[in-house]
């Protein structure tokens, strides 16, 4: 039987990548395709090729239905197991199911399955973790070489991090090896820009003409860079005029548009927005909307009886209305993936559709085409920067800052994310087909016992397992002592006398501490190189200096410690500790 659809080249590549991965491995895998790439076709083709039973899981009935009908359009028959769709069939070779319905009826899944496909698989790391895991565990009891494949457009979430660990392009995700990931390998990925450039998706017209913008930046963020709902509501309640002005502009810009989706920050906000829009043209959908009403509203929106669809975040996945040609973003987000997903709602191709207008009223300044860094943005003016590893050459993407020429002047990367190719005959580097992560660190704490370099948050040395002194303890202890001096270091200056290099550490209040390194003495030269040479140019180009003159020439790129601790001797203060890359409770120099 020949398929009625010809797969697009990248869809075929995704299918091929899956087959070749599972031929050599039982470890779980993820395919990352942007919204609108046609995941359901990839699923249908994989289902068509499978010879044994497979289960296609997802969390909303709309997607169960979509995936099923795509499969049926091949002239094949698959079952649906979804209470929401009032069908509970699991006798077919391929079953399309909702995760809730399967986990509520586990006793009906005692057959042997060869493959589970999870659509929108980033949910596995979220609220439905246990449901998915229980199904996988159960089916694995029937077949211990059960394969698990996930598909998603958003492999990274601020709250839960990356959903996989190893990327097929030779790098690793996340900083901590201990961190559990729901999937092992990303085996295929396509960026959104690829889809747009090849006209598989509509071009977004990003307009920077917002009449007014919210400024969420002053609100406190949680550790994922997200805001508390009550803070957002409080801020928005003070800016009703702003909201009104924004909606007036949205209506103006919408005059020539067919379908408008408005993404609100909170439910309260969404209600307010709806209030400013023409009642008979507006649908409001929130998490609290009754499912029947929601289906009806969405139906009417798709039929273009309603022009405006206001929602909070319920419509970021599994919602498909190709005629949408205007996206208004009134909610804050720092996640490139979520931003792409929101914008993606307007990028489907549709007859007569030229582009999709995108206006950001929340000042997110997310670049749609930026890669996801995979860490919360450390501050508003950071951008993704490329940092080559001096160890292995891998091009890391970290948050950072560049100068006017685009040179990286600062970055927040901690450890290189490159994967090392195992050397010929070097078996230990590879365990269960898993390559090793490059050990080069851009920010580190040195172990006082063995000299090993550790992550700045490490409590025990990864080499010798001994406890590493917490810099906060170090500072607290020093601050208690009468004969100790601690400065928040704001900068250093150098001077030279013969072979001696004199470093002056400047505290933010004008205090000074001084130490010297005699370069004619190998021991002192070594200490200097370990402290300063190793961290030269944000650790992007570590150096071993042999002459004082060299240091002086390149002093602009020397690292500056965050704190310096000295002890009083008879006639002077002797520097004892220089704390670099500090992360802790004390304020650093020039920090608010
Ligand atoms: Zn590296
Ligand atoms: Zn150690």
Tell me which DSSP letter residue 533 carries.
I
CA of 487 to the centre of ligand 2 (A): 27
CA of 542 to the centre of ligand 2 (A): 21
CA of 491 to the centre of ligand 1 (A): 29
Q: What is the CA radius of gyration of the chain?
A: 28
Instruction: Name the nearest CA neighbour of 257 among 319, 350, 187.
Output: 350
CA of 416 to the centre of ligand 1 (A): 5
Closest ligand to Cα 394: 1
Closest ligand to Cα 413: 1
Closest ligand to Cα 418: 1
Taking residue 498's Cβ as centre, other Cβ atoms within 10 Å add up to: 9
Instruction: Name the nearest CA neighbour of 139 among 171, 117, 157.
Output: 117
Handedness of CA 335, 340, 341, 343 (dihedral sign): positive
- Region of 163 on the Ramachandran plot (φ > 0 left; ψ -120 to 50 alpha; else beta): alpha
Q: Are 397 and 386 in contact (CB under 8 A)?
A: yes
CA of 528 to the centre of ligand 2 (A): 20
Q: Any idea where the domains of the chain sit in the sequence?
A: 9-190, 201-360, 471-579
CA of 540 to the centre of ligand 2 (A): 23
**∠ CA 317-185-223 to the nearest 5 degrees?**
60
Closest ligand to Cα 459: 2
CA of 582 to the centre of ligand 2 (A): 19
Distance CA 192, CA 184 (A): 23
CA of 454 to the centre of ligand 2 (A): 8
CA of 446 to the centre of ligand 2 (A): 8
CA of 416 to the centre of ligand 2 (A): 20
Element (H, E) at 252: helix 240-253
Closest ligand to Cα 539: 1
CA of 442 to the centre of ligand 1 (A): 10
Instruction: Name the nearest CA neighbour of 301 among 321, 328, 318, 273.
Output: 321
Distance CA 276, CA 274 (A): 5
Q: Are 355 and 289 in contact (CB under 8 A)?
A: no
Residue 549: phi, psi to the nearest 5? -60, -40
Closest ligand to Cα 469: 2
Distance CA 585, CA 592 (A): 13
CATH class of 9-190: alpha beta
CA of 476 to the centre of ligand 2 (A): 23
Listed in sequence order, the residues at least 6 apart from 15 whose beta carbon sits closer than 8 Å to its beta carbon are: 7, 42, 45, 46, 49
Domain 9-190 identical in fold to domain 201-360: yes
CA of 468 to the centre of ligand 2 (A): 8
Closest ligand to Cα 453: 2
Going by their DSSP bridges, the two strands 419-420 and 436-437 should be labelled as antiparallel
CA of 447 to the centre of ligand 2 (A): 5
CA of 389 to the centre of ligand 1 (A): 5
Instruction: Name the nearest CA neighbour of 326 among 315, 342, 312, 303.
Output: 342
Tokens linked to 278: 């023409």
CA of 534 to the centre of ligand 2 (A): 18
CA of 117 to the centre of ligand 2 (A): 43
Closest ligand to Cα 445: 2
CA of 382 to the centre of ligand 2 (A): 33
Superfamily of domain 201-360: P-loop containing nucleotide triphosphate hydrolases (3.40.50.300)
Q: Are 401 and 408 in contact (CB under 8 A)?
A: yes
pTM over 0.85, yes/no: no
- Region of 394 on the Ramachandran plot (φ > 0 left; ψ -120 to 50 alpha; else beta): beta
CA of 434 to the centre of ligand 2 (A): 25
Q: Are 559 and 540 in contact (CB under 8 A)?
A: no
Instruction: Name the nearest CA neighbour of 559 among 538, 575, 588.
Output: 538
Q: Is 355 exposed, middle or buried (0-12, 13-18, 19+ CB in 10 A)?
A: middle
Tokens linked to 419: 């994967």
In the chain (592 residues long), the average pLDDT of successive 10-residue segments reads: 75 96 95 89 94 94 91 93 94 95 94 95 73 92 95 84 89 71 92 89 85 82 79 88 93 95 94 96 90 90 96 72 94 82 90 94 81 79 89 90 88 91 53 75 92 91 92 93 94 94 94 96 96 94 94 94 95 94 88 72
Closest ligand to Cα 452: 2
CA of 574 to the centre of ligand 2 (A): 25
Residue 358 DSSP SS3? strand
pLDDT at 94: 96
CA of 580 to the centre of ligand 2 (A): 18
CA of 440 to the centre of ligand 1 (A): 5
CA of 420 to the centre of ligand 1 (A): 8
CA of 589 to the centre of ligand 2 (A): 29
CA of 563 to the centre of ligand 1 (A): 28
CA of 243 to the centre of ligand 1 (A): 47
CA of 395 to the centre of ligand 1 (A): 8
Instruction: Name the nearest CA neighbour of 547 among 528, 526, 516, 519.
Output: 519
- Looking at the DSSP bridge assignments, the partners of residue 186 are 30, 167
Distance CA 471, CA 477 (A): 10
Q: Are 242 and 305 in contact (CB under 8 A)?
A: no
């Amino acid at each position: 039987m020949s398929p009625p659809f010809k797969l697009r080249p990248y869809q075929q590549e995704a299918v091929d990548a899956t087959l070749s991965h599972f031929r050599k491995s039982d470890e779980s895998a993820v395919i990352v395709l942007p919204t609108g790439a046609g995941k359901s076709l990839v699923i249908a083709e994989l289902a068509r090729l499978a010879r044994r039973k497979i289960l296609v899981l997802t969390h909303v009935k709309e997607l169960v239905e979509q995936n099923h009908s795509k499969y049926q359009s091949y002239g094949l028959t698959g079952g649906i197991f979804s209470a929401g769709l009032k069908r509970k069939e699991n006798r077919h070779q391929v079953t399309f199911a909702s995760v809730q319905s399967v986990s509520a009826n586990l006793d009906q899944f005692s057959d042997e399955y060869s493959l589970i496909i999870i659509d929108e698989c980033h949910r596995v790391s979220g609220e439905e973790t246990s449901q998915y895991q229980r199904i996988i565990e159960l089916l694995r009891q029937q077949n211990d070489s059960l394969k698990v494949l996930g598909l998603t457009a958003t492999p990274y979430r601020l709250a839960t991090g990356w959903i996989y660990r190893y990327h097929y392009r030779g790098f690793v995700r996340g900083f901590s090896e201990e961190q559990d990931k729901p999937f092992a390998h990303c085996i295929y990925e396509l960026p959104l820009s690829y889809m747009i450039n090849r006209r598989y998706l509509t071009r977004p017209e990003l307009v920077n003409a917002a009449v007014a913008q919210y400024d969420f930046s002053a609100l406190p963020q949680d550790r994922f860079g997200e805001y508390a709902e009550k803070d957002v509501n409080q801020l928005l309640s003070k800016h009703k005029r702003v909201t009104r002005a924004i909606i007036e502009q949205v209506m103006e810009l919408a005059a020539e548009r067919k379908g408008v989706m408005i993404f609100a920050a909170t439910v309260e906000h969404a209600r307010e927005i709806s209030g400013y829009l023409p009642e008979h043209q507006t649908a409001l959908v929130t998490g609290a909307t009754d499912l029947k009403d929601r289906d009806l509203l969405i139906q009417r929106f798709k039929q273009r009886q309603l022009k405006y669809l206001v929602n909070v975040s319920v419509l970021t996945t599994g919602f498909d209305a190709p005629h949408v040609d205007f996206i208004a973003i009134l909610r804050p987000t720092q996640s490139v993936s979520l931003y792409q997903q929101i914008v993606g709602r307007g990028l489907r191709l549709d007859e007569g559709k030229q582009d999709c207008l995108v206006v950001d009223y929340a000042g997110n300044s997310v670049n749609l085409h930026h890669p996801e860094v995979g860490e919360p943005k450390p501050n508003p003016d950071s951008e993704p920067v490329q940092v080559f590893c001096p160890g292995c050459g891998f091009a890391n993407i970290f948050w950072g800052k560049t100068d006017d020429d685009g040179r990286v002047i600062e970055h927040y990367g901690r450890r290189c994310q490159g994967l090392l190719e195992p050397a010929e005959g070097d078996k230990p580097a590879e365990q269960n087909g898993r390559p090793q992560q490059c050990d080069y660190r851009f920010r580190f704490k040195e172990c006082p016992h063995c000299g090993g370099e550790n992550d700045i948050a490490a409590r025990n040395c990864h080499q010798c397992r001994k406890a590493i002194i917490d810099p906060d303890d170090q500072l607290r202890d020093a601050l208690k002592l009468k004969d100790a001096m601690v400065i928040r270091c704001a900068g250093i200056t150098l001077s030279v006398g013969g072979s001696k290099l004199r470093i002056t550490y400047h505290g933010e209040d004008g205090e000074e501490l001084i130490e010297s390194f005699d370069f004619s003495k190998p021991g002192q030269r070594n200490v200097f190189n370990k402290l300063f040479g190793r961290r030269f140019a944000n650790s992007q180009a570590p150096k071993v200096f042999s002459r004082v003159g060299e240091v002086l020439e390149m002093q602009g790129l020397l690292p500056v410690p965050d704190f310096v601790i000295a002890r009083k001797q008879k006639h002077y203060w002797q520097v004892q500790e220089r704390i670099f890359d500090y992360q802790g409770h004390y304020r650093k120099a020039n920090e608010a």
